[in-house]
Amino acid sequence: MKRQSMIEYGEPLQETEVETPAPTGTEVLVKITHCGVCHSDLHMHDGYFDLGGGKQLDVRAGRELPFTLGHEIAGAVEAVGPDAAGVSAGEQYAVYPWMGCGACAVCTRGDEHLCKVTHHLGTTVDGGFASHVMVPHPRYLLSMEGLDAKLAGSYMCSGLTAFSALKKVAPYLEEGPLILVGLGGVGMMGLRFARALYDTKIYGADIDPAKRQAAIDAGADEVFDPSEDGIRKTVLKASGGGVSAAVDFAGSEKSLQFSQSVVRKGGCAVVAGLIGGNFSLPAPMFPLRALAILGTFVGSLTHAREMLDLVRAGKVEAIPVELRNLDQANNALTDLREGRVIGRVVLTP
Ligand SMILES: [Zn+2]
Ligand SMILES: [Zn+2]
């Protein structure tokens, strides 16, 4: 099998070739048809996340080089192990990449993505910038029926992140409204999921007027510019004392500062974005405001299935896709890093 692999962190990807493995036990060998190129691939390629104040979170541990990035994978079953039930060669699937050990309490309650064993395709084990990928069990294969093959893999990342973040605010929404902060690709998916899931007022916030307008066009009730003077008071006034929940799809110091500041007493702010930075809040504010700040990381297999049902029901508008050959993986990373990509670049091995 051919791969576009990271030979050294931060250096251009190179083609590597290894023997295509044969599936054993419950394994399923998938011939990749599409793999999306994502911002998290850039972080993995860098080898670190920015923590603000000049600090970095090193994410190079536990990964042997050469390593193959790519976690937004869709493809067709090529071969199945003797114990892999329910799938046959030729069937098309999106691959759930956030696998755990499959056996611990966290995994058995359905939260494999939070297992301390991270068997994550394209981030801890070799992923989808390749002609093939080995999937350890058929349960990670999600039906592609009614889905656009070009985008099916990408839903496992940005779509799932947006959907799962939105599910976390459910217990807080009785008094509404909900505000979504950061209206890029993930935030806009979040807006559409929020519209489908909840019957509450939904606000949007972004510093970019074009993104605010796009949110209005997609059904946001009101939009705000977080960089405007006195914006906190404006939001508190509009919402009658604060929103009940905020989802921060940016995840920067400024966005989280703003997101939590407009949440009313007893409300919550969910952090989904990974832009980076350092956020601080005086400790007494947590009890005095009965404030919850939660992180969310991708989502569970159950959420993945529920999310794909909403996609099939037409609740998510397709993003623009540019297809490129697998050997263009490195250029795709560079273009993404330099802000030249609109929508998603999807590699076609
Ligand atoms: Zn991704
Ligand atoms: Zn586990």
Please tell me the predicted confidence (pLDDT) of residue 149.
92
Determine the distance separating the centroid of ligand 2 and the alpha carbon of 349, expressed in angstroms: 31
Question: pLDDT > 70: what percent of the chain?
Answer: 100
One domain, residues 264 and 140? no
Please tell me the predicted confidence (pLDDT) of residue 342.
80
Q: Are 184 and 204 in contact (CB under 8 A)?
A: no
Determine the distance separating the centroid of ligand 1 and the alpha carbon of 129, expressed in angstroms: 12
For 152-310, strand residue ranges (E) read 178-181, 202-205, 222-224, 243-248, 263-271, 292-295
Q: Which two tokens stand for residue 342?
A: 């609109």
Q: Which two tokens stand for residue 98?
A: 């956030």
Please tell me the predicted confidence (pLDDT) of residue 215.
94
Dump pLDDT digits (tens) for 150-162: 999 999 998 999 9
Between 259 and 341, whose confidence is greater? 259
Residue 263's pLDDT band (boundaries 50, 70, 90)? very high
Q: Which two tokens stand for residue 315?
A: 């609740």
Range(s) of the domain holding residue 31? 2-148+318-348
Q: What amino acid is encoded at 10 in this protein?
A: G
Give, in order, the Cα–Cα distances in Å from 224 to each of 206, 261, 276, 302, 342: 7, 14, 22, 33, 24
Please tell me the predicted confidence (pLDDT) of residue 82.
97
**Position 112 in a domain:** yes
Question: pLDDT > 90: what percent of the chain?
Answer: 86
Tell me how many domains the chain contains: 2
Please report, for the domain that includes residue 106, its CATH number.
3.90.180.10
Between 56 and 300, whose confidence is greater? 300
Q: Are 25 and 70 in contact (CB under 8 A)?
A: no
Comparing 89-93, 173-177, 289-293, the range with the smallest average pLDDT is 173-177
pTM greater than 0.75 = yes
Determine the distance separating the centroid of ligand 1 and the alpha carbon of 261, expressed in angstroms: 29
**Nearest ligand to the C-alpha of residue 43?**
1
| Eight-class DSSP state of 73 | E
Question: d(Cα 218, Cα 126) in Å, to the nearest integer?
Answer: 37
Determine the distance separating the centroid of ligand 2 and the alpha carbon of 8, expressed in angstroms: 30
Q: Which two tokens stand for residue 21?
A: 């493995």
**Nearest ligand to the C-alpha of residue 99?**
2
Between 276 and 238, whose confidence is greater? 238
Determine the distance separating the centroid of ligand 2 and the alpha carbon of 102, expressed in angstroms: 5
Please tell me the predicted confidence (pLDDT) of residue 39.
86
Cβ within 8 Å of residue 37, ≥6 positions away: 70, 72, 329, 332, 333, 336, 341, 344, 345, 346, 347
Dump pLDDT digits (tens) for 321-347: 999 999 999 999 999 999 888 888 999
**Position 310 in a domain:** no
Please tell me the predicted confidence (pLDDT) of residue 147.
94
Q: Comparing C-alpha atoms, which of 28, 31, 30 is closest to residue 136?
A: 28
DSSP letter string, 74-85: EEEEEEE-TT--
Residue 275's pLDDT band (boundaries 50, 70, 90)? confident
Please tell me the predicted confidence (pLDDT) of residue 310.
92
Angle, alpha carbons 306-295-222 (nearest 5°): 75
Please report, for the domain that includes residue 225, its CATH number.
3.40.50.720
One domain, residues 242 and 217? yes
Please tell me the predicted confidence (pLDDT) of residue 222.
98
Q: Residue length, the chain?
A: 349
55 burial via Cβ count (<10 Å: 0-12, 13-18, 19+): exposed
**Nearest ligand to the C-alpha of residue 109?**
2
Q: What are phi and psi of 167, to 5 degrees?
A: -65, -30
| Eight-class DSSP state of 173 | G
Dump pLDDT digits (tens) for 103-115: 999 999 999 999 9
Q: What sections of 121-249 are H helices per DSSP?
A: 149-154, 160-168, 185-197, 209-217, 231-238
Please tell me the predicted confidence (pLDDT) of residue 343.
81
Q: Which two tokens stand for residue 27?
A: 């394994």
Average pLDDT of the chain, as a whole number: 94
- 98 pLDDT above the threshold of 90: yes
One domain, residues 130 and 50? yes
One domain, residues 10 and 137? yes
One domain, residues 57 and 183? no
One domain, residues 185 and 98? no
Question: d(Cα 247, Cα 262) in Å, to the nearest integer?
Answer: 11
What is the rounded average pLDDT of the residues 255-262?
Answer: 98
Please tell me the predicted confidence (pLDDT) of residue 274.
85
**Position 303 in a domain:** no
Q: Are 234 and 206 in contact (CB under 8 A)?
A: no
**Position 13 in a domain:** yes
One domain, residues 13 and 54? yes
Determine the distance separating the centroid of ligand 1 and the alpha carbon of 201, expressed in angstroms: 29
Determine the distance separating the centroid of ligand 1 and the alpha carbon of 198, expressed in angstroms: 25
Please tell me the predicted confidence (pLDDT) of residue 112.
96
Dump pLDDT digits (tens) for 13-62: 999 999 999 999 999 999 999 999 998 899 899 998 877 778 888 989 88
Dump pLDDT digits (tens) for 182-234: 998 889 989 999 999 999 999 999 999 999 999 999 999 999 999 999 999 99
Q: Are 172 and 194 in contact (CB under 8 A)?
A: no
